[in-house]
Amino acid sequence: MKFDTKVVRAGIEPDPTTGSILPPIYETATFVLPEVGKDLGFDYTRSSNPTRQVLEANLAAIDNGKYAISFASGMSAVDACFKLLTAGDHIVCGDDVYGGVTRLLDNVTAQQGLSITYVDTTNTDAVKAAITSETKMLWIETPTNPLLKVSDMEAMVKISRDAGILLGVDATFATPVFLRPLEFGADIVMHSTTKYLAGHNQIIGGVLITNHEHVFDKMKYIQKTIGAVSSPFDCWLNLSGLKTLHLRMKRHEESALQIAAFLEAHPKIDRVLYPGLPSHPQHAIAKAQMSGFSGMITFELKGGTEAGKTLMNNVQLCGLAESLGSVETMITHPASMTHVDVPVEDRRKRGLTDGIVRLSVGIEDVEDIILDLEKALEKS
């Protein structure tokens, strides 16, 4: 099956009892057993659920993986990954990651006896140097949130294989349409399905995908024990959103390319970060390893923080909101919103200034989005 067909069809069969073309929403907590010690494939929805299983089959197929586990949120999926490790272990993590991941590592995972080193994962030598004999996992985002740094997948896989550690890749911004980390040899791929994969701002969800049976078994055990499962209704909504993923991503990208070029040429804009622009520091790597550049743009105004805030307070069509990856265009101030819990010194160190604006380009008419930005920029 080709990729676009997988998106629409993989793992989804007509319901055998009614012929329903869509899987039913099995909104049930439990399943009646025919006799003690026997079940019909399911016993309790915290362990497994037929609607969730269809979503997992679809998500595994589109990332070219064997096993997928659907979680209640992207964060619970990330947490389950870190729970593969035990006290005394060390994690090397990208220095520019979603603020919630930093909060989890610094304020929860570290309290459980694990140590963390943040490193710029676009610098291969720095990643190698950060690995110690205690390191058990390399965790990267590519492109990163919010600075859109792109890591060299081949180099990251080589480093983690040489060190005998797990490589986890949060590919939320790229989506499997543009990057499939398992194909490079990554051990685990993670997505916040809240974003592009569901795509319609309806649900909070996450997924982990792997080709290793032992990693899958352990992650499934962690999920079943903790109970961070996605509800049958959310799984169904996610499946519904997924069916147009390939089409939406094409449009997100086409519009983002135009908007990034518009912003870069605008006299009030200081710098634009978009992997599809030749000016992006890792444009060559992005071009080589991704089949597209996705729909996220990060930029800064010459007028700094105040000008950025004025822009965000004056857009009409773009929604000032925390999330990304939906059909609606959303604009975000990372310093006060998504990354507010990253200590200010750490934000400065990684180049996340208070003036940075993040734009998640939706699928509205691109001319309307540009007009909205143009008008708000007049006031900035």
Ligand X SMILES: Cc1ncc(COP(=O)(O)O)c(C=O)c1O
Which residues in this chain contact ligand X in the complex, by CB under 6 A? 73-75, 98, 100, 141, 145, 170, 172, 192, 194, 204, 206
How far from 366 is each of 189, 257, 323, CA to CA, in Å? 31, 10, 19
Bridge-partner residues for 332, per DSSP?
358
As given in the structure block, the two tokens for residue 341 are: 């819990």
- Give the residue at shortest CB distance from ligand X: 74
Is 195 tagged catalytic? yes
* For ligand X, the closer CB: 75 or 335: 75
- Of 204 and 261, nearer to ligand X (C-beta) is 204
For residues 187 and 380, which CB has a smaller minimum distance to ligand X in the complex? 187
Our CB check for ligand X shows the closer of 109 and 380 to be 109
Cα–Cα distance, 43 to 31 (Å, whole number): 5
Rounded to 5 degrees, what angle do the CA atoms 281, 284, 290 make? 110
How many whole angstroms separate alpha carbon 4 and alpha carbon 246? 6
State the nearest-atom distance from the C-beta of 204 to ligand X, in Å.
5
Active site residue 379: no
Q: Which of 46, 66, 218, 375 is catalytic?
A: 46
Catalytic residue among 63, 96, 152, 170: 170
Cα separation, 170 vs 174, in Å, equals 9
Catalytic residue among 98, 118, 196, 274: 98
Least separation in angstroms between residue 194's CB and ligand X is 4
- Residue 163 or residue 222: which is nearer to ligand X going by CB? 222
Residue type, 312: M
User: 116 φ, ψ to 5°?
Assistant: -135, 135
Q: For this structure, is 103 an active site residue?
A: no
CB 331 within 8 A of CB 315: yes
Quote the least distance from Cβ 97 to ligand X, whole Å.
7
Whether 98 is catalytic is yes
Q: Which residue has 């799984």 as its token pair?
A: 235
- Tell me which of 180, 195, 248, 358 is the catalytic residue: 195
Catalytic residues: 46, 98, 170, 195
